[in-house]
Amino acid sequence: MDEISIRNVKNYLLGLQDSICNALAEEDDGDGFMEESWEREAGGGGRTRVMEGSKVFEKAGVNFSHVHGTQLPPSATAARPELAGRSFQAMGVSLVIHPNNPHVPTSHANVRFFVAEHETEEPVWWFGGGFDLTPYYPIEEDVVHWHTTAKAACDPFGDNVYADYKKWCDDYFFLKHRDETRGVGGLFFDDLNEWGFDKTFEFMQSVGNAYIPAYLPIVQKRREMPYSEQERDFQLYRRGRYVEFNLVYDRGTIFGLQSGGRTESILMSLPSLVKWRYNWSPEPGSPEALLYERYLKPQEWI
């Protein structure tokens, strides 16, 4: 049986945070990320990096956390009651990027490791993660590139891995109360351990390393596109869906808040500006209507 190495996972995650922040800061060519290290009273801590009000990115947050405790929160034991009473460690990198230009999609990525330990029993561990894309004015070649890069990260690990985790992403990032997906999907996996530690850790790294090659070419193509006040207004309206999902459904947000995590870091995913309107719908035949009619429905992109 593979030996679990918490140290190796942590070192990888810290390096991933560095590499993603460096790539985004170089693309923005501004002041870069501000960093804040923090400690959790109940155990652990992390480092939060945020870039706000810059040239390309209205708000970009890239968070590393490693928290531990003597008892799991209800969100972790609801589906796994056998873990009640175990101590735990949870670590991960989570990021959300909200660009200024409505033609540049919002993106999210997360990779994480969780282990529940007991004095007299084997540890229970798993990896999770993925990335998903939320465009406002989608361009199909960008969506195809995103999914092609996601598939390439999965292919070395099995023929059905991309298809399975693409579907999981479509199902997970779905706003039931709106009957629509959050965006055009990507990858999502959780509770993954059946491959053994070494292979599963390699897969998590493959997904984490694929995020920048999936996202940055889209940013570079669309960041200088002209946009109207109407398009900016629609971007702010659609950001409301992002807020709704993160506060109502997202497992990471719920776990973080229930486990006494640092609220500022947990909620860094929320955009700086957002709008809601009462009972609004797009004009038929408009670019805004196309988003609803074609892109907010699960489908095969490649």
Which residues are identified as catalytic? 108
Give, in order, the Cα–Cα distances in Å from 45 to each of 18, 63, 132: 17, 11, 26
The answer to whether 94 is annotated as binding is yes
Please check if 98 is assigned to a binding site.
Answer: yes
260 in a labelled binding site? yes
147 is in an annotated binding site: yes
Say whether 68 counts as a known binding-site residue.
Answer: no
Annotated binding residue at 207?
no
> Strands 180-181 and 124-134: what pairing?
unpaired
DSSP for 101-149, please give it: STTSPEEEEEEEEEEEE-SSS--EEEEEEEEEEE-SS--HHHHHHHHHH
Confirm or deny that 186 is annotated as ligand binding: no
Say whether 184 counts as a known binding-site residue: no
Please indicate if the annotation marks 112 as binding a ligand: yes
- 260/262 Cα distance (integer angstroms): 7
Q: CA of 151: how far to CAs of 110, 141, 207, in Å?
A: 17, 15, 10
Q: Does residue 228 have a known ligand-binding role?
A: no
What are the b/e assignments for 243-256, b being 16+ CB within 10 Å? Answer: ebbbeebbebbbbb
Q: State the residue for tokens 């797009």.
A: 282
Is 108 labeled as ligand-binding? Answer: yes
Helix, strand, coil tally for the chain in percent (to 5): 45, 25, 30
- Binding-site residues from annotation for substrate: 94, 110-112, 260-262
Binding-site annotation, residues: 94, 98, 108, 110-112, 147, 177, 260-262
Annotated binding-site ranges for a divalent metal cation: 98, 108, 147, 177
